[in-house]
């Protein structure tokens, strides 16, 4: 019987993000899933304390980090992938549809240093691709809907689902970002919930559903089928789409949407430093037309 992966979770409360250190106990090779760069939007200061905690845990366990696995181009935190790569030599991988996300957002920010072909990343992954973390086989599942590029990573009986699902009492991710689709999200979730009932599902975020006192990020296919407040068994596609689109219309943009997208479509790299050695992020500003009138 194959030795199961060892999984350590690291929760970043400011962004409600869960990153994972996944390792093969036999070979001590490891991957980091969705690492967070600490970023304070009010001051513009970035730091690496969250990533350093993961690197310290890897060193303590004698692990060799071979991969940084991004589930998608996050809109709520900046990726620490380049920092992990500099310190470990790891390859940075993401779903191949990152090309679509780059193409969507290049004109939004009027940026010319993003390739559009995904070459900022070391490896682009397609549905059904496989690779190894030591002796652990990893299968890539394309699970779009939240974004076009979303992928889930299946490692033995564990699947890292990104923002496709939340805990059963919280539901599902929004699908209103450019390139997102509630209908596509439903179908991706149904694909995940067709896995064996005991399959463990690891979330990328948790926000503590009302009435729950502690954060949680691990559940199972069986629990999601039975209890997910948005997509439990018996919820039809049309009903889910109507609910998701109605709910998404009420949601504000994530606080770190603008900096996150600019950085994450560059594989976590900051924009090129200017002549003073400082990198700058853009904020597109548009006039909002007043009701019944013309924008200034």
Tens digit of pLDDT for each residue in 45-65? Answer: 999 999 999 999 999 999 999
Domain ranges of the chain: 6-264
Can you give the pTM of this predicted structure?
Answer: 0.95
* Residue range 100-146, pLDDT digits in tens: 999 999 999 999 999 999 999 999 999 999 999 999 999 999 999 99
| Among 235, 200, 266, 230, CA closest to 37 | 266
How many whole angstroms separate alpha carbon 274 and alpha carbon 53?
A: 30
Distance CA 81, CA 235 (A): 37
The fold of the 6-264 domain, in CATH, is Metallo-beta-lactamase; Chain A (3.60.15)
Would you call 231 exposed, middle or buried from its count of C-beta atoms within 10 A (0-12, 13-18, 19+)?
Answer: buried
Give the model confidence (pLDDT) of 168-183 as tens digits: 999 999 999 999 999 9
SS3 14: coil
pLDDT, averaged per 10 consecutive residues of the chain (296 residues), comes to: 87 97 98 98 96 98 98 97 98 98 96 95 98 98 98 98 98 96 98 98 96 96 98 98 98 95 97 94 88 62
Closest CA to 180 of 271, 130, 232, 249: 249
Query: Cβ(120)–Cβ(266) under 8 Å?
Result: yes
């Amino acid at each position: 019987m194959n030795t199961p992966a060892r999984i350590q979770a690291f929760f970043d409360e400011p962004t409600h993000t869960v990153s994972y250190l996944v390792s093969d106990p036999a070979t001590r090779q490891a991957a980091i899933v969705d690492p967070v760069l600490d970023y304070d939007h009010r001051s513009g200061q970035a730091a690496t304390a969250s990533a350093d905690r993961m690197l310290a845990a890897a060193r303590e366990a004698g692990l060799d980090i071979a991969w940084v696995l991004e589930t998608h181009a996050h809109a709520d935190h900046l990726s620490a992938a380049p920092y992990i790569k500099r310190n470990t030599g790891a390859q940075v991988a993401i779903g191949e549809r990152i090309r679509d996300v780059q193409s969507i957002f290049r004109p939004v920010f009027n940026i010319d240093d993003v390739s559009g072909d995904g070459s900022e990343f070391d490896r682009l992954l397609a549905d059904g691709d496989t690779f190894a973390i030591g002796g652990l086989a990893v299968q890539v599942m394309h699970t779009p809907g939240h974004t076009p590029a979303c992928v889930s990573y299946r490692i033995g009986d564990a699947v890292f689902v990104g923002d496709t699902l939340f805990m059963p009492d919280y539901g599902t991710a929004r699908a209103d970002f450019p390139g997102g689709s509630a209908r596509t999200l439903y179908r991706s979730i149904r694909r995940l919930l067709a896995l064996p009932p005991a399959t463990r599902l690891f979330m990328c975020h948790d926000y503590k559903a009302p009435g729950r006192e502690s954060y949680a990020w691990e559940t199972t296919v069986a629990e999601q089928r039975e209890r997910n407040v948005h997509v439990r068994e018996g919820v039809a596609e049309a009903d889910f789409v109507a609910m998701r689109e109605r709910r998404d219309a009420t949601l504000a943009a994530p606080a770190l949407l603008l900096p996150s997208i600019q950085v994450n479509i560059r594989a976590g790299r900051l924009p090129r430093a200017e002549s003073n050695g400082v990198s700058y992020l853009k904020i597109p500003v548009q006039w909002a037309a007043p009701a019944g009138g013309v924008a200034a």
